[in-house]
A and B are shown apart, each in its own frame.
Chain A
Amino acid sequence: MSDGPTYAETCRGSLARQAAEAAAERRSLLEEARCGISCAFGDSRVVAKRYLLHYLRQPRLLVFSTIQPVMFVLLFRYVFGGAIDARALPSADYVSFLLPGILVQATTFGATNTAVGISEDLRTGVIDRFRSLPMSRVAVLAGRTLSDLVRNTFVVLLMTAVGYALGFRFQNGIIAAVGTLLIVIMFSYALSWIYAFVGLTAKGAETAQTASFVVTFPIVFASSVFVPVDTFPSWLQTVAEYNPITKVADAARGLALGDPLPWLQPVLWAMAWIVGIAAIFVPLALWRFRRGD
């Protein structure tokens, strides 16, 4: 008899080797199938394109995200604006005060569409289809919020143009002007994630819409968006002081108009809110999406 391995040992060795090879092959397959960063970006772009096409093809959405904010500007400027005492304002005239605020209002109202859109996709089964595809797990929400970002940028630029036609001017230089728009856009992006979470959680699109509206409407009006908060009753002033919409509107206004308005403190507050909302709602919405039903 030789000193080499027995037949049984050879078999065991070869089986073990085969098992190890199979396991390694499985790992590399899994590695290959995992959707990395660039794949996540690509998928998000595909999803964002879909939602942007929705905007372009549904007159209802297009009207609500563009014509409605413009009507708000006109309404407040010409209908309510005359009754507002310019001496009570920290700015030269009402349109200067109004415009930075109404940018925040428009993008905030627009964000409710995210909740409705996502919840509609859940109902129709489109989200199920996405979840059964080998695509990035973050791409549906990242793509949806990316499309919101594009839309919000468009809305903010459109409204600034309308503001310019009505006499609004940035008074603090180009960098501060860009900062004004950026802070509004970043805030609306963070909000998209809240509404994405609402859309994933709400039972049905109508619930999503109602829930979004009931919360959004008072928050936007109990803020410094339309008038200075010092005209509010004192309890409401307290509420408005802590309202993130007030902070963002004040930051946008401070950056747009400059002296005598403060800008640094409101901007820091606004940034804190943006980061805070994103830190909570991005993971929360992604978790809700992955968990499924």
Chain B
Amino acid sequence: MDAIHIQDLEKTYGDTVALAGIDLAIPEGIVYGLLGPNGAGKTTVVRILATLLKPDSGRAEVLGFDVLREPELVRRIIGLAGQFAAVDEILTGRENLEMVGRLYHLSAGEARRRTVDLLERFDLIAAADRAVKTYSGGMRRRLDLAASLLNRPAVLFLDEPTTGLDPRSRLGLWDIINDLVREGTTLLLTTQYLEEADRLCQRLAVIDEGAVIEEGTTDELKTRMGGSVLEMRVADGDRLADAAGIVERVARSTPQVDRELGRLTAPAERDGVSLVVRTAEAFDEAGVDVTDLGLRRPTLDDVFLNLTGRKPMQPEDEETPGDAPEPAGVGEGRS
């Protein structure tokens, strides 16, 4: 039996189509990633599975329980940690967890015991009796995650668990998530960060505009991109369009253009080396200067870009979107 089974799920808000018929089958015991840009419909899927939202049509089951007809049963086996840490600011960390434990109908003693366990495990025991409003962003996320684990859920939903966190807190949370999976929890994770998906998820669905546009293991997705990626940088930003035209003619595929970096990428399905040579010759003939030209293995970024036509979000540049950092190890030699 699948941990999560979704069939033809549709949801519309007014004129906005949030989900345009989604099918997913997620096996038990893995981390499954829903990857997609903002507004792609990831959160809508999670909200429907967590019984917070009713779809317009379609079916969704969690461990065989129907979210529409048996929401009471679904709620007993799931945990949810949201995009915005749903913890009470005024209460202490301990009070927050004990409250959630009581609402899971644990006995007072059991709620207290599990609370202490979780506070220790998530390194919050020292701050246990402080009001949550004094917590850092990372501590709140950990507390929120702890709250979703009080019932030892079989299926856990994490909606953008690390959005807005600093890199150190993000790494800490990734460790925790990896531990959870080792214990056998099935985890559905939504993220805009490819690195996160690459690090944590065994399988992925790329979602855009309310539909699954690609599904598979991370390796499968990368392989489907083609064997490798042809990448080059154009010295003169004004000649990007010319360069794109050349690549399109030689490589017979439309390249992705990154204007800020002056970078072109295109899938190179076969004959990679000969493609590099032919591209270099074509550039030479047309008199377009390139600062870098070569083949590399596709990354999830390429997959994402190729599928959605959009640049994925990088953890580092969320404060200043559009200011993408220089990728490491890019040669500066002229070709």
Contacts and interface: CB of A to CB of B under 8 A. Distances in A.
Nearest to B150: A133
B104 A129 contact: no
Interface string B55-86: 00000000000000010110110101011111
Contacts of B131: 57
B53 A293 contact: yes
Q: Is the interface of B mostly helix, strand, loop or mixed?
A: loop
Contacts of A30: 70, 72-73
Contacts of B100: 129, 133
Q: Is the interface of A mostly helix, strand, loop or mixed?
A: helix
Contacts of A5: none
Interface residues of B, number: 32
Interface stretch (A6-14, A46-54, A62-70): A46-54
Interface string B79-103: 0101111111111000100011011
Contacts, number: 81
A132 B51 contact: yes
Interface residues of A, number: 31
A151 to B, nearest CB: 15
A109 interface: no
A21 to B, nearest CB: 15
B72 A129 contact: no
Given A124-B84, A129-B80, A57 B90 contact: yes
A119 to B, nearest CB: 15
A144 B82 CA distance: 23
B146 to A, nearest CB: 12
B234 interface: no
Given A33-B72, A134-B72, A129 B51 contact: no
A179 B136 CA distance: 50
A29 B151 CA distance: 17
A128 interface: yes
15 contacts: A33-B76, A42-B105, A46-B102, A50-B91, A53-B95, A124-B86, A125-B86, A128-B80, A128-B86, A131-B51, A131-B52, A132-B78, A134-B72, A135-B105, A293-B53
Given A26-B70, A33-B75, 16 more contacts: A30-B70, A42-B102, A43-B103, A46-B99, A57-B90, A125-B85, A125-B86, A126-B87, A129-B86, A130-B103, A132-B78, A132-B80, A134-B75, A134-B104, A134-B151, A293-B53
